[in-house]
Chain A
């Protein structure tokens, strides 16, 4: 069974902190990965894709380590508005479906 594992947290950090989340995936053949953000009682929204070479979008950096089959998300200079659940996603479902982790909850405090 193809799975994605994440630390559920919660991660409680002060504003301005740097925080990192990791997740592991079981399907070594998977090619595409994403981080989605989900606010309380809302739908998941695409945060960023994850590329083998690593990619950065403002304060967010995503990394993929194929050898160890893990993905990371680094958030620098945390804002109160970053408080949400971050879902690690493997796009390697056998039917073109997304495989979600359970999510990591982040709470940024003033």
Chain B
């Protein structure tokens, strides 16, 4: 079975631009979470979606938004990019709602560089 997939793998943008990152969870998984990992740090929680609804939001500005589609895939959108948004963006999927203690499986990530 395929694991969590993310696209694109790498992306270069300039300040002020907008970016859309995509994630497909493991087949049968209904929850998708997004994390940002800046170099030298652990991943930081951005959003969790379950059954197409936002179920959690981390401490990120409103420039960050996301959604989940009927097939449980998800998009993360970031507007008005800043240099500090350069990071590895990780998507994690779990069978059920993550607050239930479900194991989260990570995709390979999208490496975003903002110039």
Contacts and interface: CB of A to CB of B under 8 A. Distances in A.
Whether A associates with B in a native complex is yes
Interface of A: 4, 31-32, 41-46, 87, 91, 93-103
Q: When A and B form their complex, which 3 residue pairs have the shortest distance between CB atoms, in order from nearest?
A: A95-B56, A96-B99, A100-B42
Contacts, number: 59
Given A32-B101, A95-B99, A100 B44 contact: yes
Interface of B: 33, 35, 40-45, 48, 55-58, 90, 92, 97-101, 103-109, 111
Contact of B90 (A43, A94, A101): A43
A10 to B, nearest CB: 12
A84 B11 CA distance: 25
Contact of B45 (A42, A97, A103): A97
Given A43-B90, A87-B42, A100-B44, A95 B57 contact: yes
Nearest to B106: A43
Contacts of B43: 44, 87, 98, 100
A46 B106 CA distance: 9
Contacts of B35: 98, 100
A43 B103 contact: no
A46 B94 CA distance: 13
B108 A46 contact: no
A106 to B, nearest CB: 15
